[in-house]
Amino acid sequence: MLLLKKIFFILLVQQVALVYCDIKAQTSGSEIAYLQTDRTVYIAGESIYYKLYILDTATKKRSVPSSKVGYIILRAVNSTPSLKIRVNVNEGMANGSIALPDTLTSGVYQVIAFTSAMRNSGEESFFHKEITIANRFDKSLDFKLLKGNKDYNLTHIQSLEPLIKLDKPAYGTREKVIVHLAKTNCKANVSVSVFEESKMPSTYKSIVETVNDSSVAQKTKRVTNYHSTESKGKILRGTVVDVKTKQTIKDAVILLSCVDTIPNLQYAVANSNGLFQMLLSDYYDGKELFLTIKDAPENNNWKILIEDEFAQSEKWNPLLNSDNENYREFIVKSQNIVYINKSYKLNEDANDKQLIDVKSVCPQFYHCPVVTILPSDFVPLPDFLEIAVEILPQVRIIKEKGKYCVQIFNDLLRQYDRRSPAIFLDGVYVDDIDKIIGLGSEQIKKIDVIDVERAFGDLVFSGVISITSKANEMINTKPASYSVRLKNDNVNTGGNLVAVNPNTLHNPNIPFLKQLLYWNPNMELNGTDDTKFEFYTSDNLANYSIKVEGISEDGTPINASSGIQITNKINSTEK
Amino acid sequence: MKRYIYLLLLMICISTNAQTNVVTIVPKVDSVFLSKLTGGFFYEKKQYIGDQFFNNDWANGDILLSTGVMIYDKSLKYNGLFDELIWLNTFNFGKFKLDKSFIAEFWLKNISGADIHFKQIKVSDTSNVKRQCVFAEVKVEGKLSLYIQRKISVIGSENVYRNGVLYNYDDIQATPRYYIKLPSNHYLMLTKLRRRAFLKLFPEKKKDIAKIIRVNHLNIKQELDFVRLIELMNNEVVL
């Protein structure tokens, strides 16, 4: 009986532990994204100022050790992405601006913000916000708007609402406005926007609703294709497949390099599902990536399929209302303001691109002395075959079964190594030797040779031949069937709004019209005192909203709003 | 009643776990994205009388790369004869001398019960003409730092008969070099630990140093006492 009791107790403890582990596994690593934008209505050509928060689902705090990369998509009603933006997330926050192309058609757009780790919870966990964009030259304005605002009925919402204190409710034009934000109980980081009220429909959850929507945490479902948290940088994901048999190839070695003066390499090994992942450091930002498979068998049908990190499987079909008559006046006014500002060149509010502390390190293939040969020191030779014979004594090129093979003389074995060396052209690992065979003294600037066996991680090569061409020949080559070339995107480094004092304008007679009076994505609330900020009103007479959103150190969302009126009936004394 | 409550609790737990949907082996990112070590094949010539390695057995070690990235748990040996760090790739069992310029520091773990820290320092050679990078054991770091290069030198050669064949073997022996880094970042070098030679390096502080040696009963011919002296000098002597 005692033994039975003991077994029963052990079983109980084990089961409780399993439940605990499961709850922890579901919540750990999952994130919430929230994107605050300065406004919800824009004219094509303007900038969207944004602040992205990445919060931990369990603690609701800014997820400091988690994702370092955030993705923002702007897509139209037909679900075609108009803009894809990658941002660097630092301490759970990112901010900047997105320049809207002048060519965007008028209509409703959806902004989606997410991290790679959020894909594990499904696309429904991504942050979605609908905004309206009107083309500057669109006179008909016959686009459809969203049907009303969506209501989120959330109960027991816990949030901080700091009081926004103004010295008066109405201000004159070009007048200084001083706003006091009442103290909160703890330190917090908020973003503040002061913009003209549009009353145009826009559906999105506020930060309070996003944070308190527990459904996000509960939506964790069976993960078949796990996405690692991009805690160190962007992760390139792909699969190696046999296009004929449609089977995935396991244990394939995928090599990544890019055009540079230094031979560079990174590799990954495909897992049992043919999936591979590579960390793309900032070194790869904006560069063309060359991916190939090491020692791919002859006549193979292997292919590298790269996952699109911005891909959205769910279509966006909003309920639209054809009647936009009520808002036509506001849009026309906005178009005119943009037109006037463009004419007077007053739209250059955004400061220069944010400086990013780039510590990019090239993944060099070797860090040792090499033998350098300059073909220009010798008589001109027509191709690499001749170069190998005449000026590269340690290199031999032979033809086997109609294919060229490059071999390096191994000093220890006193013979040519049958294994292939690593061959680089303009820093890129060459997937086909034919690409270098045709290069002669005219094309080649220098050749670096290492004639000893080299290790690069677990990969071993019989040596290294690195060719630097005079005119970046690698760019003009065609990738082999099992290779792929793709352009890596750049990190968005858009600047922030610079508040202009209208009284310092060189010509006071030019119109000073603004719909966005103030935008500060990084306002620190110290938790002990009121926080003060100031801005100037413009000649645009309207009602403005002051919107404060953010998150406190303890994970409590902050949401406050107020309004001011700008009128010309006030005889302002404090200009 | 109590038994039924326990049974009910157990049933709830089992049924909850039966519905668990997240049973995924999460790939560990760090293991996938580690920086790669680079090096050339190391051919180990064995015709030496004496040990060419600082540690004859492969030691578990960590490496700090010049890029600031740490690489953990690699099988390492430090070769004092060639001043090279040798890596045993346990994946293909190849021995590679790691590219020196890629390594800033490394730690050999559990060598006679202690972790030994090596650092690459740039010092002048004996001729004092050109500067070279060497791996040296970090003993003291402070205002005055002490680094010991665990150099192994060929001191002669012997002809040895093995299975009726005459071989020429090199005699090798440990010839450590002691580098003292001054606050001005200049290095002073000692090839032998001698009191007089050491005091000559600090003519202005000679009396203070002699006093420290006397008071603490240090025999600086012994490496341990010499290390202790540098530590005491850091605390007691105004440099």
Cα–Cα distance, B86 to B104 (Å, whole number): 14
Give B40's contacts in chain A (Cβ within 8 Å).
368, 450, 452-455
Give the per-residue pLDDT at A152: 47
Pick from B120, B27, B37: nearest CA to B75: B37
Q: A26 pLDDT band (50/70/90 cuts)?
A: low
Longest dimension (CA), chain A: 97
Q: A14 pLDDT band (50/70/90 cuts)?
A: confident
pLDDT higher than threshold 50 for residue A574: no
Q: Provide the shortest C-alpha distance from residue B12 to chain A (in Å).
A: 9
Strand partners, B86: B77, B97
Q: A502 pLDDT band (50/70/90 cuts)?
A: confident
Give the per-residue pLDDT at B238: 64
Give A226's contacts in chain B (Cβ within 8 Å).
24, 26-27
Question: Per the CB < 8 Å rule, is B96 touching A455?
Answer: yes
Give the per-residue pLDDT at A300: 85
Give the per-residue pLDDT at A100: 93
Give the per-residue pLDDT at B77: 96
Give the per-residue pLDDT at A146: 77
Q: Provide the shortest C-alpha distance from residue A11 to chain B (in Å).
A: 8
Phi, psi of B19 (to 5 degrees): -95, 0
Question: How far, rounded to the nearest angstrom, does the alpha carbon of residue A49 sit from its chain's CA centroid?
Answer: 15
**Residues A134, A189 within the same domain:** yes
Give A11's contacts in chain B (Cβ within 8 Å).
10
Give the per-residue pLDDT at A157: 54
Cα–Cα distance, B40 to B67 (Å, whole number): 19
pLDDT higher than threshold 80 for residue A340: yes
**Residues A57, A140 within the same domain:** yes
Phi, psi of B78 (to 5 degrees): -105, 125
Cα–Cα distance, A135 to A167 (Å, whole number): 37
Which letter does DSSP use for residue A30 in this model?
-
Query: Would you say residue A8 lies in a domain?
Result: no
Query: Would you say residue A254 lies in a domain?
Result: no
B14 touches chain A (CB under 8 A): yes
Over residues A407-419, the mean pLDDT reads 89
Of the partner residues A8, A19, A453, the one whose CB lies closest to the CB of residue B40: A453
pLDDT higher than threshold 90 for residue B140: yes
Over residues A410-418, the mean pLDDT reads 88
Question: How far, rounded to the nearest angstrom, does the alpha carbon of residue A228 sit from its chain's CA centroid?
Answer: 15
Query: Would you say residue A40 lies in a domain?
Result: yes
Q: B182 pLDDT band (50/70/90 cuts)?
A: very high
Question: Per the CB < 8 Å rule, is B37 touching A412?
Answer: no
Pick from A43, A4, A5: nearest CA to A516: A43
**Residues A424, A457 within the same domain:** yes
Question: Per the CB < 8 Å rule, is B101 touching A367?
Answer: yes
**Residues A142, A168 within the same domain:** yes
List the single best residue of A4, A237, A262, A367 to mutate versus B (max B Cβ within 10 A).
A367
- Which residues form the domain of A167? 27-221+312-354+494-566
B10 touches chain A (CB under 8 A): yes
pLDDT higher than threshold 90 for residue A554: no
Number of domains present in the structure of chain A: 2
Question: Per the CB < 8 Å rule, is B38 touching A367?
Answer: yes
Question: Per the CB < 8 Å rule, is B29 touching A232?
Answer: yes
Contact yes or no for B116/B210 (Cβ under 8 A): no
Question: Per the CB < 8 Å rule, is A368 touching B40?
Answer: yes
A132 three-state secondary structure: strand
Q: Is B164 exposed, middle or buried (0-12, 13-18, 19+ CB in 10 A)?
A: exposed
Question: Per the CB < 8 Å rule, is B6 touching A412?
Answer: no
pLDDT > 70 fraction of chain B, expressed in percent and rounded: 87
Q: Provide the shortest C-alpha distance from residue A356 to chain B (in Å).
A: 18
Question: Per the CB < 8 Å rule, is A458 touching B41?
Answer: no
Cα–Cα distance, B48 to B42 (Å, whole number): 16
Give the per-residue pLDDT at A61: 81
Give B9's contacts in chain A (Cβ within 8 Å).
12
Query: Would you say residue A167 lies in a domain?
Result: yes
Q: Find the closest chain A residue to B38 by CA distance.
A: A456
**Residues A172, A52 within the same domain:** yes
Query: Would you say residue A320 lies in a domain?
Result: yes
Give the per-residue pLDDT at B99: 96
Q: Find the closest chain A residue to B39 by CA distance.
A: A455
**Residues A446, A343 within the same domain:** no
Q: Are strands A557-566 and B38-41 parallel, antiparallel or unpaired?
A: unpaired
3-state secondary structure A170-204: EECCCCEEEEEECCCCCCEEEEEEEEECCCCCCCE
Q: Which residue has the higher pLDDT, A66 or A377?
A: A377
Tell me the average pLDDT of chain B: 87
Angle at B210 between CA B207 and CA B214, to 5 degrees: 135
Q: Provide the shortest C-alpha distance from residue B37 to chain A (in Å).
A: 5
End-to-end Cα distance, chain A: 89
Contact yes or no for B9/B45 (Cβ under 8 A): no
Query: Would you say residue A290 lies in a domain?
Result: no
Strand partners, A353: none
Question: Per the CB < 8 Å rule, is A220 touching B91?
Answer: no
Of the partner residues B17, B24, B92, the one whose CB lies closest to the CB of residue A15: B17
Residue A38, CB half-sphere, CA atoms under 13 Å: how many? Answer: 26
- For A132-141, A217-226, A412-421, which range has the lowest pLDDT when averaged over its residues? A217-226
**Residues A431, A402 within the same domain:** yes
**Residues A446, A524 within the same domain:** no
**Residues A329, A385 within the same domain:** no
Give A222's contacts in chain B (Cβ within 8 Å).
21-22, 24
CATH number of the structural domain spanning residue A197? 2.60.40.1930
Give B21's contacts in chain A (Cβ within 8 Å).
220-222
Give the per-residue pLDDT at A27: 53
Q: Provide the shortest C-alpha distance from residue A32 to chain B (in Å).
A: 19
Which letter does DSSP use for residue A320 in this model?
E
Angle at A391 between CA A386 and CA A397, to 5 degrees: 50
pLDDT higher than threshold 70 for residue A352: no
Pick from A515, A485, A353, A492: nearest CA to A73: A492
Q: Find the closest chain B residue to A361 by CA distance.
A: B67
Residues 43-62 of B with CB under 8 A from A: 43
- For A141-155, A310-324, A430-444, B87-101, which range has the lowest pLDDT when averaged over its residues? A141-155
Q: A573 pLDDT band (50/70/90 cuts)?
A: very low
Of the partner residues A25, A221, A458, the one whose CB lies closest to the CB of residue B92: A458
Give B27's contacts in chain A (Cβ within 8 Å).
226, 228, 271, 277
Give the per-residue pLDDT at A169: 84
Give the per-residue pLDDT at B129: 67
Pick from A87, A91, A113, A68: nearest CA to A230: A68
Angle at A536 between CA A530 and CA A541, to 5 degrees: 120
Question: How far, rounded to the nearest angstrom, does the alpha carbon of residue A81 sit from its chain's CA centroid?
Answer: 14
Q: B22 pLDDT band (50/70/90 cuts)?
A: very low
**Residues A186, A97 within the same domain:** yes
pLDDT higher than threshold 50 for residue B19: no
Residues whose CB falls within 8 Å of the CB of residue A86, separated by 6 or more in sequence, listed in order: A69, A70, A71, A72, A234, A309, A489, A490, A491, A492
Phi, psi of A561 (to 5 degrees): -145, 155
Question: Per the CB < 8 Å rule, is A454 touching B41?
Answer: yes
B166 touches chain A (CB under 8 A): no
Question: Per the CB < 8 Å rule, is B38 touching A458?
Answer: no
pLDDT > 70 fraction of chain A, expressed in percent and rounded: 87
Give the per-residue pLDDT at B5: 77
Cα–Cα distance, B181 to A574 (Å, whole number): 64
- For A83-92, A193-202, A556-565, which range has the lowest pLDDT when averaged over its residues? A193-202
Of the partner residues A11, A16, A277, the one whose CB lies closest to the CB of residue B32: A277
B9 touches chain A (CB under 8 A): yes
The torsion angle over the Cα atoms of residues A508, A509, A513 and A517, rounded to 10 degrees, is 10
pLDDT higher than threshold 90 for residue A430: yes
Question: Per the CB < 8 Å rule, is B10 touching A220?
Answer: no
Tell me the average pLDDT of chain A: 85
Give the per-residue pLDDT at A200: 73
A244-257 tens-digit pLDDT: 999 999 999 999 99
Of the partner residues B6, B92, B99, the one whose CB lies closest to the CB of residue A366: B99
The torsion angle over the Cα atoms of residues A159, A160, A166 and A171, rounded to 10 degrees, is -30
Give the per-residue pLDDT at B161: 87
Q: A203 pLDDT band (50/70/90 cuts)?
A: low
A432-464 tens-digit pLDDT: 899 999 999 999 999 999 999 999 999 999 999
pLDDT higher than threshold 60 for residue A353: no
A444 three-state secondary structure: strand
CATH number of the structural domain spanning residue A390? 2.170.130
Query: Would you say residue A285 lies in a domain?
Result: no
pLDDT higher than threshold 60 for residue A149: no
**Residues A418, A501 within the same domain:** no
Query: Would you say residue A435 lies in a domain?
Result: yes
Pick from A46, A38, A37, A39: nearest CA to A337: A46
